[in-house]
């Protein structure tokens, strides 16, 4: 279909012209067409798509990835961003571009500490971020609601209420943002405060308070107690292979000592990617050790390290996560990233979409202690980070949570895309709410079938699956 450039960054059109430009996309992609996705004919086998990612990952960890994805259709969905990107690319999409999260499912929203040390709710995973059509994120978010709601027995009517509330929240929030001044949009965020707690049902408020209290307890000190122990007066990472493996066990004591000597140069390279105002802070910490740590579902097999540094003394720890970045799964279907360093792509996308982010978020290109050369982004580990337990949510709680995610996604899109044009396309009525709801239910059906295909591949030993991890 014909592509047209976004007008978000230019002041040449009036508000009405921008609104009409958004409405004009309805002729190319009618709102009712948001329901559609291409059939099975010509579709790449989903198992083959997953296998195509194996060469980029640590071979011994690939079976863990499949084990985690096979835990449930919901777990499968979380690891199947590439499969959904391939599906979304096979149907027409609007040319109203935003900075996409790229993997906007429910578990990639959550709580974390802002630079101002308040607790905020926002998107918290940007491994697949890339500019692209706004509706791709909305489709992934709404589909994740349908899949997750199925996982704990919600009826079809309950699922439709859950998904429709999210789609409506996105639409209504986008209209509200379209009416706001530019600076007000940029400063907008979702703090966990008294105003929020008073706006929700008492049961929801209680859950939010509990999640907030838990998130505030998750910091470097808490990470230290979970991931390390003291042996002969020296603090070391716990050995729990293959999930947590100290560097000494991976490369030997001598190589580990040598890598430690070079760590200062790596920290210098990393801190050069930070805002100049926090670079002196990073230089006050020194490296003391690291370990390889398996994380997530979709990220299993990519190299992820936890790095222990200390500041004024041993009671002043800072634990960093150094995580490998690969090209976004969207790059096969949209356009290559503007950044040669995949980790820089992740960091820039996060800075664009989040209202207030980690002051220590930066990137590296380096050869790791295992000899692998790659791009890595660096961030604080567990900086007040908290996430909802999706599997334990009631239908009503999931409705509230999905509504919050829809509003946050709209605010994130409004920062980089033309919010007035998107609002113009969405309209005031419920046409897009209905379309996204129907799409989500249909895609949950497809996800179930894809999950069963992976299960068959595992039973036939076409994919390796770990057990008991």
Please indicate, yes or no, whether residues 271 and 236 belong to a single structural domain of this protein: yes
pLDDT in tens, the chain (469 residues): 334 444 444 568 899 999 999 999 999 999 999 999 888 788 999 999 999 999 989 999 999 999 999 999 999 999 999 999 999 999 999 999 999 999 999 999 988 776 666 777 889 999 999 999 999 999 999 999 999 999 989 999 999 999 999 999 999 999 999 999 999 999 988 766 555 555 556 666 666 666 665 556 566 677 788 898 888 888 889 999 999 999 999 989 988 888 888 888 888 899 999 999 999 999 999 999 999 999 989 899 999 999 999 999 888 889 999 999 999 999 999 999 999 999 999 999 999 999 888 899 999 999 888 888 999 999 988 766 666 778 778 888 899 899 999 999 999 999 999 999 999 999 999 999 999 999 999 999 999 999 999 999 999 999 999 987 6
Give the C-alpha separation, 464 to 412, whole Å: 38
pTM here is 0.93
Per DSSP, the residues of 164-214 read HHHHHHHHHHHHHHHTS-HHHHHH---B-SHHHHHTS-HHHHHHHHHHHHH
Q: Is residue 122 part of a domain?
A: yes
Which one, of 82, 218, 69, lies nearest residue 147 by Cα? 69
Q: Is residue 258 part of a domain?
A: yes
Please indicate, yes or no, whether residues 372 and 287 belong to a single structural domain of this protein: yes
Please indicate, yes or no, whether residues 315 and 299 belong to a single structural domain of this protein: yes
Give the C-alpha separation, 324 to 459, whole Å: 30
Say which DSSP state 117 is in: S
Please indicate, yes or no, whether residues 248 and 194 belong to a single structural domain of this protein: no
Cα angle vertex 112, ends 110, 117, to 5°?
150
Query: How many structural domains comprise the chain?
Result: 2
Q: Is residue 433 part of a domain?
A: yes
Give the C-alpha separation, 195 to 345, whole Å: 35
Q: Is residue 388 part of a domain?
A: no
Q: Is residue 469 part of a domain?
A: no
Q: Give exposure, 433-462, as e/b (b: 16+ Cβ within 10 Å).
A: bbbbbbbbbebbebbeebbebbbebbeeee
Please indicate, yes or no, whether residues 96 and 191 belong to a single structural domain of this protein: yes
Quick check: 421 and 22 in contact, CB under 8 A?
yes
- What the block records as the tokens of 240 is 């729990």
Please indicate, yes or no, whether residues 338 and 236 belong to a single structural domain of this protein: yes
Q: Which of 323, 351, 380 is the last residue of a domain?
A: 380
Please indicate, yes or no, whether residues 251 and 321 belong to a single structural domain of this protein: yes
Q: Is residue 2 part of a domain?
A: no
Kind of pairing, strands 244-246 and 234-237? Answer: unpaired
Q: Is residue 468 part of a domain?
A: no
Please indicate, yes or no, whether residues 185 and 232 belong to a single structural domain of this protein: no
Please indicate, yes or no, whether residues 282 and 334 belong to a single structural domain of this protein: yes
Please indicate, yes or no, whether residues 407 and 259 belong to a single structural domain of this protein: no
Q: Is residue 200 part of a domain?
A: yes
Please indicate, yes or no, whether residues 182 and 220 belong to a single structural domain of this protein: no
- What the block records as the tokens of 266 is 């790596």
Please indicate, yes or no, whether residues 194 and 229 belong to a single structural domain of this protein: no
Give the C-alpha separation, 311 to 426, whole Å: 50
Which residues constitute the domain of residue 169? 16-212+395-459
Neighbours of 427 (CB within 10 A): 15
């Amino acid at each position: 279909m014909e592509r047209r450039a976004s007008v978000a960054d230019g002041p040449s059109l009036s508000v009405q012209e921008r609104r009409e430009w958004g409405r004009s996309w309805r002729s190319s992609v009618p709102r009712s067409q948001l329901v559609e996705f291409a059939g099975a004919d010509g579709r790449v086998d989903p198992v083959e798509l997953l296998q195509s990612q194996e060469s980029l990952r640590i071979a011994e960890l690939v079976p863990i990835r499949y084990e985690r994805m096979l835990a449930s259709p919901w777990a499968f969905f979380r690891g199947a961003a590439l499969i959904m990107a391939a599906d979304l690319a096979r149907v027409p999409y609007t040319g109203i571009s935003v900075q996409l999260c790229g993997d906007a499912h429910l578990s990639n929203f959550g709580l974390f500490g802002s630079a101002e040390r308040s607790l905020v709710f926002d998107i918290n995973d940007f491994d697949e971020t890339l500019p692209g059509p706004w509706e791709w994120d909305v489709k992934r978010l709404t589909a994740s609601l349908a899949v997750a709601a199925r996982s704990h027995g919600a009826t079809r009517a309950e699922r439709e209420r859950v998904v429709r509330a999210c789609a409506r929240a996105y639409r209504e929030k986008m209209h509200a943002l379209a009416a706001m001044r530019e600076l007000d949009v940029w400063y907008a965020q979702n703090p966990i405060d008294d105003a929020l707690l008073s706006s929700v049902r008492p049961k929801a408020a209680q859950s939010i308070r509990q999640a907030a209290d838990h998130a505030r307890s998750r910091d470097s000190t808490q990470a230290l107690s979970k991931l390390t122990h003291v042996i002969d007066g020296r603090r070391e990472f716990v050995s729990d292979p293959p999930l947590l493996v100290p560097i000494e066990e991976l490369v030997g004591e001598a190589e580990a000592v040598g890598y430690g000597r070079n760590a200062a140069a790596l920290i210098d390279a990393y801190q050069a990617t930070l805002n100049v105002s926090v670079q002196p802070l990073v230089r006050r910490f020194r490296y003391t050790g690291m370990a390889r740590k398996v994380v997530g579902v979709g990220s299993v097999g990519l190299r992820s390290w936890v790095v222990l540094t200390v500041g004024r003394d041993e009671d002043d720890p800072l634990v960093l996560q150094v995580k490998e970045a690969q090209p976004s799964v969207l790059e096969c279907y949209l356009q290559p990233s503007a950044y040669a360093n995949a980790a820089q792509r992740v960091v820039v996308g996060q800075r664009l979409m989040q209202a207030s982010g980690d002051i220590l978020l930066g990137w590296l290109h380096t050869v790791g202690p295992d000899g692998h050369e790659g791009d890595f982004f660096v961030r604080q580990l567990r900086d007040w980070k908290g996430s909802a337990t999706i599997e334990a949510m009631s239908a009503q709680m999931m409705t509230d949570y999905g509504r919050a995610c829809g509003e946050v996604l709209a605010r994130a899109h409004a920062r980089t895309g033309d919010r007035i044009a998107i609002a113009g396309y969405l309209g005031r009525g419920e046409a897009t709410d209905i379309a996204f709801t129907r799409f989500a239910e249909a895609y949950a059906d497809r996800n179930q079938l894809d999950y069963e295909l992976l299960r068959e591949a595992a039973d036939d030993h076409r994919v390796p699956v770990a057990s008991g991890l």
